[in-house]
Structure 1
Amino acid sequence: MPFGNIPAALVIVAGCVLAVILYFAGSKIRTHLEGSEKGISRVIISALGIPAVIAILTITIFLALRYIADLPELAHQVMESTYAQVLYIILGSLIIAFFVRNFLDLYGKKIANLTDSDFDDKLVHFLQSVYGYVIGIGAFFMILSVLKIDITPLLATGGLVGIVVGLAAQDTFGNFFSGAMIAADQPFREGDRIEIQGVIGDVVSVGPRSTRIKTLDSQLVTVPNKILTENMLTNFALPDITLKVRISVGTGYDSDINLVKNILKTVAQKGIASGFVLSTPAPEVYFLEFGESALMFQLLIWTGMYDKTFEVRDYLNTEIYTAFKAAGIEIPYPQMDLHLKSSPVHI
């Protein structure tokens, strides 16, 4: 190694050691402040931690380059002040991004819970989704300004290209905007069971471009956010987790109507005792119509297991069948009577 490069090596070693010390010191301070009342201090330490390490390593490289002999001309250009300003902008953007993220994570929900309105919760969720894009775009335009790059000619000459690209990517941009709308409006949350265009399942994750749903068959379906905002969507978990379940059943025309109603009410009470049925609102039984082959009744119950409707229906149907069989009540099936008329045969 040339003698002139030894100081550069020492600078790199010293910078790496300082960066490691700073990283572990910051982690220890964050752990000490965890759960304390000094929340804003933890936000600042977290925001400065990683960017500060990056800044030290970058400064170390800049200083080491000054001691390297026969440094190429390109390296000297990199070390000019203009590029240093670009670096400052990048580091500043990282610090702001880390600060905003930690601040929203630590104080966002606390501030939103101070009011009864859910608008604050939606606003916090929206800010958590878009702050990175806003800071990134702002840093990009600041870098262009520092480099003295005028984007006006680019916009003028690239207008046609922009239109073509815009038309080709309109669905992609539409999905991103729809993702921002979902973040702001929150028609559903992760874990909610929803139905969209015939697909029923639980929301696994909500991304900026698409939403993933786990169907009742344990299949993962990726739905573009634009479809979720442009079509009618059913959320079984909102405004609460209660769900009305209708059990329709037919009995023979010779059945005792009052007896059938009492049996259905008794089944509903067993459902309440088992935990499948809620006592409030109370279960209801209706004699709806005279069917072609049966008298049609309907049992209406409410359940708090919106994600277990199959189990609820299975329990109630089994109990109804057992009770009807014990009481001698017939559950008819569609049938057709054929009447044949005989006529003399002429030869």
Structure 2
Amino acid sequence: MNDTNGLVDGLLSIAGIFNLYAILLLILGGFLLWALAQGLSTVSQRLMEKIPARRFLILQISTLLSFGLYIFGSVGLVIAVLQPPKELLYAAAGSVAVALGFALKDIAASLVAGILLLFDRPFRVGDRVVFGDTYGEIVSIGLRTVRMNTLDDNLVTIPNSRFITDVVASGNAGELDMMVVTDFHLALAADINKAQALIEEVVVTSRYAYLKKPVNFTLEEVEVARMLAIRLRVKAYVLDVRYEKTFQSDIVKRGTALLAKHGIARPQPGGSL
């Protein structure tokens, strides 16, 4: 009988906490947290427009603040509004831990991985990243997922836990500039030194080039259309990762025209080198 009475008293106590007034306050508080997060996002976007050189830093700070706002804000809201007894808090914490551990283990793994990503920082918001067969810019690091915008303007959502076990490559590691690799193929009989000088001229005169870092070239004999050719690979830095493909297109367009103008021999499929 005593056990039954204790159970009834406990249920009545919980029911008393979740009254209509408390539920309305929770809804209002949740809306306020969402509004604050949206305001933070708006402010960060305006700051990035005014200070583009600090775009990555602003995005990273905004992400951290959003994490803290949702996590600590939600916990504080529940405690402040419901004011549950300590015993109930301990019981709820234990129940949540068990639920996350068994019923939501994948989500829990992604949540833990999201926190690890913030501290380990294999990549940052704004980085150009290769993950599996997907390449694009990291636009957000959330509690459960990372969102990547590909160069085809597709938004890809990846669970955080994938980044803990799989290989990920960051092209710029938090910097605005990034190396861009572009290949030109030349005939075996081509004047390689002249071709390299012409391509270097194209690179250093590009409006998108970041010339505080060196321009490097590598040469390799490769097979093109079942014929041997020389691959002239230029490694140059773009001043902002947003101009990666624009920079590469500029080099290819002007470089191809300049090589043709100076009569630099190129591989001709179906013909001789």
Paired amino acid for 1:131? F
**1:322-337 matches, cutoff 5 A:** 322-333=257-268
Residues 228 and 137 of structure 1, relative CA distance in 2, 3 Å threshold: farther
1:1-347 alignment, distance < 5 Å: 125=65, 127-135=68-76, 143-145=84-86, 166-271=101-206, 275-289=207-221, 293-333=228-268
Aligned partners of 1:293 and 1:335 also within 8 Å: no
Check conservation: 2:124, 2:174, Cα contact below 8 A: no
Letter in 2 for 1:283: V
Matched-pair contact (CA < 8 Å) for 1:268–1:301 = yes
How far has the Cα of 1:249 moved from its partner? 2.1
Answer whether contact 1:209 1:224 (CA < 8 A) is retained.
yes
Q: Give how far 1:277 is off.
A: 1.5
CA contact (8 A) 1:193 1:201 kept: yes
The code of the aligned residue for 2:138 comes to V
Answer with 310-319 or 252-261: which moved more. Answer: 252-261
Specify whether residues 262 and 182 from structure 1 end up closer, same or farther in structure 2 by C-alpha distance, changes over 3 A only.
closer
CA distance in 2: counterparts of 1:83 and 1:318, whole angstroms: 67
User: What do you get for the CA RMSD once the two structures are aligned?
Assistant: 4.4
For residues 262 and 106 of structure 2, the distance between their equivalents in structure 1, rounded to whole angstroms, comes to 61
Gaps of 5+ in 2: 1-11, 41-60
The alpha-carbon deviation at position 143 of structure 1 amounts to 1.3
Tell whether the 8 Å contact from 2:209 to 2:238 is kept in structure 1 after alignment.
Answer: yes
- Give the counterpart letter for 2:134 in structure 1: V
CA gap 1:202/1:302 in 2 versus in 1, 3 angstroms? closer
Which SS does the other structure have where 1:201 is aligned?
strand
Letter of the aligned partner of 1:261 in structure 2?
Answer: Q
- Given residue 71 of structure 2, which amino acid in structure 1 is its aligned partner? V
Using a 3 Å threshold, how does the CA distance of structure 1 residues 327 and 134 change in structure 2: closer, same or farther?
same
Q: Given the superposition, is the C-alpha separation of residues 262 and 129 from structure 1 closer, same or farther in structure 2, using an over 3 Å criterion? A: same
Instruction: Please tell me whether the aligned partners of residues 221 and 228 of structure 2 are also in contact (alpha carbons under 8 angstroms).
Output: no
Query: In the comparison of the two structures, how many residue pairs are matched?
Result: 223
Distance in 1, Cα, partners of 2:234 & 2:63: 42
Greater share of residues in strand: 2
Q: Does the CA contact (< 8 Å) of 2:179 and 2:238 recur in 1?
A: yes
Higher relative contact order (CA 8 A, sep 6+): 2
| TM-score (normalised: structure 2) | 0.62
Counting aligned pairs with the same residue, the percent is 19
